[in-house]
Amino acid sequence: MASGFFAILDDIGALMDDIAVTSKLATKKTAGILGDDLAVNAEKATGFLSSREIPVLWAITKGSFINKLIILPIVFLLNFFFPAAIKVILVLGGIYLAYEGVEKIIEFLFHRNKKGHEVVEESTLPEEDEKSEKSKISSAIKTDFILSLEIVIIALGTVIEKEHPLLTQIIVVSLVAIIATVGVYGIVALIVRMDDAGFFLMKKSGNKGFFSGLGQVLIKALPIVIKILGVVGTIALLLVSGEIFLHNIDYIHHLLPENVLSKFGLGIVFGLVAVLLATVGKKLISVVKPAKK
């Protein structure tokens, strides 16, 4: 009886060791995509009223957790019953990311209305701003879904390579997904509250000394950080999408070398085609709708 109990404890200990080691390895392999995830989501979570930053970020974080709850069981089931479908889903997700990246570049080049970074003043939120906020949250959650799918599949590939049992696979991949969400959005929260931290330091120090200077640096740095994140986030979208195409489309995988230029170029090409098709589709819909009326 006692020996059986200790045998169970030994099995649990071995399982926990496997989970710890494999989780560490899977987290290392997903580090690149996590960096891209951070850049993309930090850029999407900025540009709101100060009073709306945390509620918006919390809404995106909740959406991210829901994404993981949807993705995890679907990926495990597909991997077990129909593994080929995962590649198709990844490529479709890559097309969406490339579309978003190229759309941002086109908007910057041809549809800019503002010069530089304009601070949004605290006021009552107009109806159009509320719609814009909901639209940005929805866009962020959709982008997070694709990036989360990539993270989950990379983590799953790591545990499959090590030939771990199903229980270990489920626990490790779920842990990586949770760590990714908490880590990424925790850092994003720190970034978007830089100015508040700066004002707090200035107030506490009476606008004198080192901490007052540090507060001023944080306040002045925020617009620069936002601009940098906007650029890095767009590049990240294109690189992640390009990597998806390079790894999951056999013809492209054998045709092009695996480097940053290839990934970025693929993201641009697929993104341009996606934007073109979406534009033509919208025009056709706008023509067909009046005709029906």
What pLDDT sits at residue 173?
Answer: 81
What pLDDT sits at residue 160?
Answer: 66
Measured on CA atoms in the order 39, 41, 47, 51, is the torsion positive or negative? negative
Of 163, 181, 233, which Cα lies nearest the Cα of 61? Answer: 181
Identify whether the C-beta of residue 236 lies closer than 8 Å to the C-beta of residue 146: no
Give the tens place of pLDDT for each residue, 115-149: 444 444 444 445 656 777 788 888 888 888 877 88
What pLDDT sits at residue 79?
Answer: 81
What pLDDT sits at residue 2?
Answer: 46
Taking the CB of residue 232, how many other CB atoms lie within 10 A of it? 18
What pLDDT sits at residue 164?
Answer: 62
Report how far residue 34's alpha carbon sits from residue 28's, in angstroms, rounded to the nearest whole number: 10
Tokens of 118: 């304009």
What's the average pLDDT block by block, 10 residues per block, for the chain (293 residues)? 44 48 52 59 64 80 90 86 82 86 87 50 55 81 82 74 68 82 80 80 82 86 78 82 86 89 94 93 80 54
Report how far residue 7's alpha carbon sits from residue 1's, in angstroms, rounded to the nearest whole number: 10
Cα–Cα distances in Å, from 209 out to 198, 221, 231? 13, 19, 34
What pLDDT sits at residue 122?
Answer: 46
Question: In 111-193, which residue ranges form alpha helices assigned H by DSSP?
Answer: 127-161, 166-192
What type of residue sits at position 186? Answer: G
What pLDDT sits at residue 13?
Answer: 46
What pLDDT sits at residue 44?
Answer: 65
The string of DSSP codes covering 227-252 is HHHHHHHHHHHHHHHHHHHHHH-HHH
What pLDDT sits at residue 272?
Answer: 95
Of 14, 60, 31, 17, which Cα lies nearest the Cα of 176? Answer: 31
Report how far residue 147's alpha carbon sits from residue 157's, in angstroms, rounded to the nearest whole number: 15
What pLDDT sits at residue 234?
Answer: 82
Of 266, 221, 218, 216, which Cα lies nearest the Cα of 240? Answer: 266
Identify whether the C-beta of residue 147 lies closer than 8 Å to the C-beta of residue 37: yes
Report how far residue 226's alpha carbon sits from residue 159's, in angstroms, rounded to the nearest whole number: 36
Give the tens place of pLDDT for each residue, 8-19: 434 444 445 555
Of 220, 43, 217, which Cα lies nearest the Cα of 147? Answer: 43
